[in-house]
Structure 1
Amino acid sequence: MRWLVLMAWVAALTCGASRAEIYGSAYVAKGQCGPNPRAALTTPDGTCAGIAAGPAQGLKMPRLILALDRDTLIITDMAGWGSKKGRVLKATGLNAPVLSITTLLSGLDQVHGLAFGPDGKVYVGETGKISRFAPGSSPVSLEPVVTDLPRDGLHPLTTMIFDAQGALIVNIGAPTDRCELKGPGQDKPQDPCPFLAGTKPRAALWRLTFDKPGGKVVKTEVLATGLRNSMALAVDGASGTVLQAENSADLPGENEPPEEINLIKQNKNYGWPHCVGANQPLLGTIPASRCKAMEPAAVLLPAHAAPLGMLIYRGDTLPGLKGRLVVGYHGYRDNGHRIVSFALPDVLNAKQNALSMPLVSGWQRQKGLRPRGAPVGLAEAADGTLWFVEDKNRTIMAIRADETPGGRSLDMPSPSDKPSQARPMPDGFDTLARDLLSRKCAACHVEMRDKDPAKSWGRIVDAGWAEPGPLRQTKLIASMLGDQGHKPMPPPLGLKADAAARKLIEDFLGRNP
């Protein structure tokens, strides 16, 4: 009897140890990912996601990450939304079980942006200013670069990147969500929007030119406008194209408006606050004809995905990823909390409905296993490891090549990563998808873009468009017909007055009584 009690006690200790949270985070280890504890996340075959640091290493709110050399990362940690709390951190030991983290700078004002300059210095963005430091200096001190950036409003964080000519491209976020006035009932954009006027407009990208690498800023010009909040920027080295990921207006609906990837061109207006996605009016506030003058999105992303990090992967280490555009979705809604990649030619050729491939998914919250994902900054190290940080979960993680047989994660993918079997595909859906949804709906709703009707149907079900019950009463059909109290889709009137669309819908319903 005593032996049985002892065995039970040992088993309890063992099980308890297996459930230990990794480095003070809410993740529980599921094996190894290289030198790091492995997170229970879905990654492509031959890869895995490991946790290299967490709250136990002093992380508070890491936002962006920069691979400085083969064994050093630089991280900005806001430590919260209050002023003078931010830090710049250095992490070493990239092939150790846990990173060694030290503080280089502290007392910074909502520190966020990071960029490695052509002068070999690290550029740091705080609210209202950009500074730089020499990474090898001791002690580390900041040298001001520009100190008069806008610092008020809803989007004060500074993000920046150097372009192919050595100029610094800087995000100047919109002061409000959609240029609305304050107060009840004032949710429609002002027309014209005053924030876009003048020589220093907001909701824009500014271009700062230096007299020499590491020198003074001698010219500040507007690169592009109509960009609500450019938290993720990348530059294609081959073409010199600047890519921007747009965080669109924060509307309550789950599936509108789309986020965007934009190809930035000099002096172009990308539509904020009136036009979104494929040059569509936001909230129907201006005629559609006016949106045609705006620069359309190159690629449409899911609504509320919140793309906060982006890079072009150049390494050979992670299978199938070389030359692809990697984008992190920070959003807490169903379309967020994942990392995906796009074929770079699809992006550069403005293939609006370009399909993404999941890189890290299955990231929904599961108590005792993992938190909901919250990826922000991304960085590629010299060995091809892809590093990223999570602000809400206070982690630094690494996507590594995985030599474990099978390679796949130890948990089920999230619902939107595989077709749902909750409701079988109705008869005739292939025709409806091809002739109606792809033409009228897919521009804004990523779940309706897949050319495989079975996969498209599965994603439509998982996104809540086809709940159990009569097809006519589902959100998918009722919103297009403007019935059952659903918001008409596409806005503002739906398809009720479109005779051809109505016939397609009725034929579909007739085949599925």
Structure 2
Amino acid sequence: MIRRLVLAVLFLAGLAAPAAGQGPGQGAGRAYAVQGECGGRPRTLVAMADGYCMGRVWQRAGDAGPRMPRGLLELPGGDWLVTDLGSWDAGRGAVWRMSPQHGGGVRWVRLIRGLSMPHAIARGPDGRIYVAEMSRILAFDPARPDAAVAVIEGLPDNRLHENRHPLSSFVFDGDGALLVNVGAPSDRCLTATGAPVTDAHGQCAETAEQAMVRRYAAMAPGRWSRDWTVFAAGLRNSVAMVRHASGAVFQAENSVDLTTPDRPFDEINRLTPGGHYGWPYCTDMATALPGWAARPARCGERTAPVSLLPPHAAPLAMLYYDGAMFPELRGRMLMSWHGYRRTAGRIAVIETDASGAPLTDRSAHYAIYPRGSRPYPADAPAPRAKILTPGWNVRPGRHPQGSPAGLAVARDGSIWIADDRSAAILRIARPD
């Protein structure tokens, strides 16, 4: 009888609501423990580079706030807009307004709901806020979110599990054009048996309208052409893009999903009109992908990366740091590595030249969790990078492995991070 009562108590405990700090977006073991302060916020226990700390702004507990925060944008006055993927199902996403409160809490107001996998968010040249969904880009005024309008429509409906890359992203070019990511509809353009899916010319048949960055020409302030041209092709998934003040556009490529932990490498590409960057034929500097090895000439026709990145790092955001809090980082490329494997869960800062291109080294190494490093190909360019979060691997009872998605630099120069798997907003600042 006693044994049955104990089992019954354990069963009911399993049905109970999540404990404080463990909302439905994060699950058991995803909580960030805190101790002390980091720039006015509770300090997490994530081991950071010297001179930096990570504070916890918010972590979901209960039903308030986003389930899967992705993009971040600061508003005048200190409020923030946060895109919420919601889930990998269409119509579950949202845009939230986050208002930090005196005493350390935050208040959430949902401005727009019913979105399909919203990710990127940015202020446009006309002052409106732009949000990329799976198949369109919206513009709205935070004071009138009910009046949001679609400015780009008809992007492919890349639902996960049917296809592979449903998220859209964008940057505004210098002439006002919108450069929009359209992810590849599969991992490697192969059939279920591993045979290439080809057209009459022996090329991948999936790339006519996808696996590219499209260019939508500006027609007037806040209005773009319905037609598009190919800006750059052969790109599996350009979720992370940035335009430098010099006019150069860079993309961080999420390479294919081979099961080997040390291949293939992700990439940084400088996008130029008409360039083809290798998907699905080629990866790393000149390695033919399985299924396409019989067509090695395609690697020779490829525009090579300006730098490799660690394999399976899964870069999701990149920007140039322009804040005052960390003068040693000014002008450098800031990048989130979101993937779940041993290279990811990191915020990297990469040295750059006057055009914004990463400075690189040869015969370099990249770090892996829980410790150690692995080499890049000896003759390949590797980024000259500083890792701000060297200890963001999983530490039971202290913190999960990081899953940084969106990045933003606040007006005070602190670096804000959206961790979507743990439903948390984090902030890198100077230690108190």
TM-score w.r.t. length of structure 1: 0.70
CA separation of 1:94/1:114 partners in 2, compared to 1, >3 Å: closer, same or farther?
farther
Match of 1:175 in 2: 185
**Contact conserved, 1:312 with 1:325, CA < 8 A, in 2?**
yes
Residue in 2 that maps onto 1:37:
42
Higher relative contact order (Cα pairs below 8 Å, separated by 6+ residues):
2
- Cα RMSD of the aligned pairs, angstroms, is 2.1
Deviation string, structure 1 residues 185-236 (Cα, Å, up to 9, x no partner)? 3265654101223xxx210000112212212436521100000001111110
Aligned mate of 2:149, from 143, 146, 149: 143
Aligned residues: 377
Alignment of 1:152-301 (within 5 A): 152=158, 153-181=163-191, 183=192, 185-186=193-194, 190=198, 191-197=202-208, 201-217=209-225, 219-237=227-245, 239-283=246-290, 285-301=293-309
Give 1:113's aligned amino acid.
A
Q: Write the letter of the residue equivalent to 1:179.
A: C
Offset at residue 93 of structure 1 (A): 2.2
Distance change (3 Å), C-alpha of 1:83 and 1:292:
same
Kindly report which structure 2 residues correspond to 1:123-142, keeping only aligned pairs within 5 A, or say none: 123-137=130-144, 140-142=146-148
- Once residues 271 and 169 of structure 1 are traced to their aligned partners in structure 2, the CA distance between those partners, rounded to angstroms, is 19
Q: Who is 1:388 aligned against?
A: 417
Question: SS where residue 150 of structure 2 aligns?
Answer: strand
Cα drift, residue 22 of structure 1: 5.2
2:321 paired residue among 292, 313, 320:
313
Q: Which residue does 1:463 correspond to in 2?
A: none
Instruction: Output the CA distance in 2 between the equivalents of 1:241 and 1:388.
Output: 25
| SS of alignment partner, residue 31 of structure 1 | strand
- Displaced runs of 4+ in structure 1, greater than 3 A? 20-25, 187-191, 286-290
TM-score normalised by length of structure 2: 0.82
Partner deviation per Cα, 1:285-325 (whole Å, 9 max, x = no partner): 14544312210011100111110111110112125211110
Deviations 1:18-72 (CA, angstroms, capped at 9, x unpaired): xx97585611102111221111112232221111111124330111112233502
Evaluate the alpha carbon distance shift between residue 312 and residue 95 of structure 1 in structure 2; reply closer, same or farther with a 3 A threshold: farther
Contact preservation (8 Å) 1:262, 1:297: yes
| Structure 1 unpaired stretches of 5+ | 1-19, 405-513
Q: In proportion to residue count, which structure has more strand?
A: 2
- The 3 A distance-change label for structure 1 pair 279 and 310 is same
Bigger share in helix: 1
Alignment check: 8 A CA contact 1:70 1:381 kept: no
> Structure 1 397/349 Cα, relative in aligned 2: closer, same or farther at 3 Å?
closer
**Corresponding position of 1:122:** 129
Shift of 1:115: 2.0
AA in 2 matched with 1:148: G
Question: Would the alpha carbon gap of residues 301 and 216 (structure 1) be closer, same or farther in structure 2, given more than 3 Å must change?
Answer: closer
Distance in 2 (alpha carbons) for counterparts of 1:315 and 1:22 = 31
Match of 1:54 in 2: 59
What percentage of aligned pairs have identical amino acids? 36
Q: 1:120 to 1:359 in 2, by over 3 A?
A: same
Distance 2:244 2:333 in 1: 10
User: In structure 1, what residue type is equivalent to 2:35?
Assistant: K
Residue of structure 2 equivalent to 1:341: 349
